[in-house]
Structure 1
Amino acid sequence: MDQARRLTLPELEAALATMVHERYFEAESDDEAEMQAVEARDTEYLLTRIRCLELNLKAAEEELSWIGPGGRNTPAQSLRRIKALCARFPDLFNAMQAVAVTHPAVSREMLAMAIKQFRRDADALSQDDVVGLLTSVVNGAHQAFDAVLRTRKGAERKATSLPWGKHNE
């Protein structure tokens, strides 16, 4: 098992495929091979399968860990992502919004420099203008979110206080 813990996901998947080929070649699916392994009490296969699942889960978690509140990136990683976002969104507003939301730990001044580097439609804007736009995108989104949330909470209370706003159960 110690060796299985040190293997990479592709190596474990290859080992699992070999076991299926050698031991469960009559199985028509991975699920069927797994059931046969359970019936045979094939702990080597089952432990390898579990480790594959663990590494798949870890890879899925790490795929988006960079966007989380505690996520830290190198400047090169951030620049690659910002460049991709700037290219992906045709209009400046959506590009700035995506960059601001996905890079909350990066200062707006740094984000503005990167956006100016990758967006031709930001060329005519000063560094301070882009920082101001980023601030307005973030603050405006928060204010709009809060406003909608407040109206929805109030609307629920008002609807339940009216006889025709109550649900018939």
Structure 2
Amino acid sequence: MTPKPLHRSITLWSGIFMMLFIAWAWRDSMKMVSHLSYGRTTSFSLGSMMGIEIRPVSGPPDSGRVPLEKSLFGPTVAASLPPPLFLRGEAQKSGMSWIPGEATHKHFARYTKIEPKGYRAILIPYWIPLMLSVLIWSGLLLWRAKRHRPAGHAVLTESSA
């Protein structure tokens, strides 16, 4: 049985679709802030990052999309390759000040310090799932190529040595 050509492989097309979707979400997060809240949990996308925050108090269900410059993070700049952040509220009393041109992830880390003690947030930059999907996709394509290579076409055989 001959294998399907590569251009008909579901592995090829699903990997391309996944990487295009992540790249689109990454680009969108640099211009828009999107969020979905239910109970104590909020998922969001902003400044080249996606995240989940858990608040100590439950709130009403909510969702929305706002341009980054009109959001709470308005005067910040979305960094292309921010680091992952694992944040906790510190309940500090000091007020927030804007630093013009500050990276969004740095502002978010400072903003978290005035949140109550039970607040938790995890922010994952989009470059991490994109690189993971590239690695997994490449591995699957290599495995497919190895699996479909005919037995007589080994790269190095004993007779050629």
On whether the aligned pair clears a TM of 0.5, the verdict is no
Greater relative contact order structure (CA < 8 Å, 6+ sep): 2
Quick check: which has more Rg, 1 or 2?
Answer: 1
